[in-house]
Each structure stands twice: as C-alpha cells, then as structure tokens.
Amino acid sequence: AQSVSQHNHHVILSEAASLELGCNYSYGGTVNLFWYVQYPGQHLQLLLKYFSGDPLVKGIKGFEAEFIKSKFSFNLRKPSVQWSDTAEYFCAVNGGATNKLIFGTGTLLAVQP
C-alpha cells in the first residue's frame, strides 16, 4: 500500500538556521514525489516535485529536496530559513494507473526572528 511518513511533527528554528525535514514513502512502483507548503489560513501550494532525472530538485524560495531511491526518502532542505518560512510542510507521493495522491501528516515549522 502507498504511504508517506514525516518524522518531524513540529520544528522550531531561529532565522538563518538550516532546515532539513524528513520524508519517507512506501510504494512499489514508479512514483512522483512532492513537497507542498501551507501558510496560515491558506491552501496548499507546490514547493517542488520530482518525477525523474536529477535526484536533487530545486524549488521555489530557496528550497531543495533530494530523492534517494535506496532509502525511499525525499528530504526537504533549505540552507538558511527566514521568518516568512513559518508554515506547515507536507510531503506527498503519487503513482500507479489511478494517480492516487497521498500526503504525510505534515511538519509545522516555526521560525523565530
């Protein structure tokens, strides 16, 4: 069965600190992987995605993620966070003929100025 695990539920960082959020997935076939962000009171927006090619993917706002197939992981990183990065971050995976899209439970990031 398809599943996604996010290990960090709540992360608190100071501005300029580096960020890494973990994401592991379970799926037997070819997958597409995503990171979405949800700012307070808003809907989800795409940060970045991986479907093939270079396993290091760059997204918007300085975020990047690395797909490590052997570890079934797709961790999100940012070298220096800003207060405006305060939000909830969701990892997601889809695949298969019906394109079922599953999300992790999310990581709430609070960046202190």
Distances (CA, A) of 39 to 84, 90, 107, 108: 9, 11, 12, 10
**70 sits near other proteins (criterion: CB under 8 A):** no
Which range binds other proteins by CB under 8 A, 14-22, 44-52, 63-71, 79-87? 44-52
CB 15 → other proteins: shortest distance, Å?
Answer: 26
Using CB under 8 A, pick the residue from 25, 63, 106, 111 that binds other proteins.
Answer: 106
Q: Is 70 helix (H, G, I), strand (E, B) or coil?
A: helix
CA distance 27 to 32: 10
**101 sits near other proteins (criterion: CB under 8 A):** yes
